[in-house]
Amino acid sequence: MTLESTKQEDDMSTDTPTRAPHSDVPTGHKDGGRVGAGLFDPKQLVTSLPDAIRKLDPRVMVKSPVMFVVLVGSVVTTVLALKDPGSWFGWVIAVWLWLTVIFANLAEAVAEGRGKAQADTLRKAKTDTVARRLNDGAEEQVPGTELRIGDLVVCEAGDIIPGDGDVVEGVASVDESAITGESAPVIRESGGDRSAVTGGTKVLSDRIVIKITTKPGETFIDRMINLVEGAARQKTPNEIALNILLASLTIVFLLAVVTLKPFALYAGADKQTSLIVLTALLVCLIPTTIGALLSAIGIAGMDRLVQRNVLAMSGRAVEAAGDVSTLLLDKTGTITLGNRQAAEFVPVRGTTEAEVADAAQLSSLADETPEGRSIVVLAKEKYGLRERHQGELVDAEWVPFTAQTRMSGVDVDGRKVRKGATGSVIAWVQERGGEVAEDAQQLTDAISQAGGTPLLVALEDERGPRVLGVIHLKDVVKEGMRERFDELRRMGIKTVMITGDNPLTAKAIADEAGVDDFLAEATPEDKMALIKREQAGGKLVAMTGDGTNDAPALAQADVGVAMNTGTSAAKEAGNMVDLDSNPTKLIEIVEIGKQLLITRGALTTFSIANDVAKYFAIIPAMFAVAYPGLDKLNIMGLASPESAILSAVIFNALIIIALVPLALKGVQYRPMSADKMLRRNLGIYGLGGLIAPFIGIKIIDLLISLIPGIG
């Protein structure tokens, strides 16, 4: 394989976005970009309060069974307090139950508020444009809202692209900062995997013809606005299952509380089991903490993806990312830098490395490919050769690469230097009457078997034509990839490298990068077959892609991440779109998905453990008068029955608002096995959920007992 053919292969397979020539801004997550840093701001509680109050609508509240019960309890205690206006206890309980509901709505409102802020920014990018539609070859100006699927529109420098589509003619530099937050323009061109354009972006140069692929109101920006606002967010299967569990627990506790009244009448403790007290008990025992935060956790999970410029088409996709057990990654641009780099110059017997380096640098001065530039740099840095320039060689005759010769080089100062494929260079030397060193073929074979690409370097001078040595080109694995794959392995995720390279090259790169397996000489059919095999074994699969030929595999994968630079077919097939078109972000997506699941599990554990502790606060207070022996369960030593019940209700409300930052930020994820993670959650959030109420309720009780007439 020649240097030039290598470049062609990489250009066809790389997933790295093509930037305009003048751009040197790297892609990736930008802390100062459109999406912000995502930290919790206490001011959000105040600004989101009106939305939280509006959510008190029973039609909204009924979607959360636990909090709907609390809402009903708030109404009941308020009615009872109105019947007995002189009862301070009833009024205080009613107020704190209402605050419990509002705090629960506030958690969801804050999470949604972030999305609305992002949506407002996106709306600024959505402008009503006039489109230059082609009609029988002639241009006509029509409102962008009148465009239909299949229409052809013309855009030139300075024009706003009126709708989503694919470039079918021309190439242009496009400003996508309104969508990605990235200031560097990108190249969009027809006939490749970087043909998709988004409505609302701006053409900076040249002229392109775009074929519209979406209806008005269904553009990419419209979908982004709906998703980040939460308007299109459906509950995921895990959320639905957890809601069913919480509803079941609520029914169980409701039945348990209802049965307490007959027991109290029999024991003569009717006063201690008034309807207000029973309502307070029910609210404290049902899992209100996780019931209040469940929706906020889901919204925040999608928000964390948006912060990294990844658009999830559904919450199901985010959760699936957390359960992924097999990760398919393209080699070029994901695991490797995307272009082969010169690693060493290997001389044949009778030649020195310096001679090979000099000839290799000379023959690469006119080679503007990344591989060619790497040869010039390696010769300069490793062998101290001055970096010469093409313009210095006035009388040089440059020999360009062609598919027929599979070589390139230069004729200068009576010397002819060539570099290229092994067979072509050997044939060139032999045709000119030269002899090829015996070890030349052995050196190229050794480099090929090691996964590299050998390029022979030959020279013809007064000594005659001869092979000087071999340039070893190799894929450069991105820094830190082995460590990332080690983390994934600890997470229980199998990594598979996908490449079009031959098996020898693929194995060498796989070994160096530390992936678990590889698929060499991969075709679209091979990718599909691999995904189906993994799924047949009960595994969830994630992969990235940007081309039309990736669309079937993206649709088949449980998590299909399409590159924003890719075709419309790829973006439609995937359930996530990476606006930065950075394939390595798939690893971050998996971590965010796992963080979402861990956060939900941790707060569920905390909530249930909380209920156990609150039981020890209220039950002894209710029945200690009738059954003095129960006073032994009053291990917190609470001041009075009223103080105990009120302290538990107040703590139940405050703990929700205290956990909002954790629900939005998420529990910190650390790669570890499932059993270790379970032990960690039980140790931190299970034990913490038991201890926190004892401390919190006792502190509140001490403060209440200082109020005259209560303590």
Q: What tokens appear for 340 in the block?
A: 């082969």
Q: What tokens appear for 186 in the block?
A: 């990108």
Instruction: Give how far the C-alpha of residue 130 lies from the chain's centroid of Cα atoms, to the nearest Å.
Output: 35
Element holding 312 (H helix, E strand): strand 310-312
Q: What tokens appear for 463 in the block?
A: 């000594």
Residue 87 CB contacts under 8 Å (≥ 6 apart), including other chains: 81
Q: What tokens appear for 13 in the block?
A: 């397979």
Q: State yes or no: 202 annotated in a binding site.
A: no
Residue 159 CB contacts under 8 Å (≥ 6 apart), including other chains: 132, 202, 203
The strand order across the sheet containing 407-412 reads: 341-347, 464-474, 453-461, 415-420, 407-412, 397-399
- Looking at the DSSP bridge assignments, the partners of residue 165 are 197, 212
Amino acid identity, position 504: L
DSSP state at residue 271:
G
Q: State yes or no: 546 annotated in a binding site.
A: yes
Q: State yes or no: 403 annotated in a binding site.
A: yes
Q: State yes or no: 408 annotated in a binding site.
A: yes
- Looking at the DSSP bridge assignments, the partners of residue 311 are 577
| Measured distance CA(370)–CA(139) in Å, rounded | 41
Q: State yes or no: 371 annotated in a binding site.
A: yes
Nearest partner of 169 among 137, 207, 133, 213, judged by Cα: 207
The strand order across the sheet containing 559-563 reads: 310-312, 576-578, 559-563, 541-545, 326-330, 494-498, 517-519
Nearest partner of 176 among 14, 17, 16, judged by Cα: 17
Neighbours of 263 (CB within 10 A): 12
Q: Are 96 and 81 in contact (CB under 8 A)?
A: no
- Looking at the DSSP bridge assignments, the partners of residue 460 are 416, 465
| Measured distance CA(564)–CA(558) in Å, rounded | 19
Q: State yes or no: 411 annotated in a binding site.
A: no
Across 242-292, where does the E strand assignment appear? none
Q: State yes or no: 16 annotated in a binding site.
A: no
Neighbours of 664 (CB within 10 A): 25
Q: State yes or no: 550 annotated in a binding site.
A: yes
- Looking at the DSSP bridge assignments, the partners of residue 544 are 561
Q: State yes or no: 404 annotated in a binding site.
A: yes
Nearest partner of 590 among 312, 246, 388, 200, judged by Cα: 312
Q: Are 193 and 566 in contact (CB under 8 A)?
A: yes
Q: What tokens appear for 176 in the block?
A: 């996508």
Q: State yes or no: 401 annotated in a binding site.
A: yes
Q: Exactly one of 330, 475, 580, 611 is catalytic; which is it?
A: 330
DSSP state at residue 54:
H
Q: Are 615 and 285 in contact (CB under 8 A)?
A: yes
State the residue for tokens 């641009």: 333
| Measured distance CA(531)–CA(479) in Å, rounded | 28
| Measured distance CA(148)–CA(409) in Å, rounded | 52
| Measured distance CA(467)–CA(465) in Å, rounded | 7
CA-to-CA dists, residue 637 to 42, 195, 280, 390, angstroms? 34, 71, 20, 88
Neighbours of 403 (CB within 10 A): 9
Q: Are 573 and 552 in contact (CB under 8 A)?
A: yes
> Does the annotation mark 303 as catalytic?
no
For the annotated binding site for Mg(2+), the residues are: 546, 550
Known binding residues for ATP are 367, 371, 401-408, 419
List, by residue number, the catalytic residues.
330
- Binding-site sequence positions: 367, 371, 401-408, 419, 546, 550
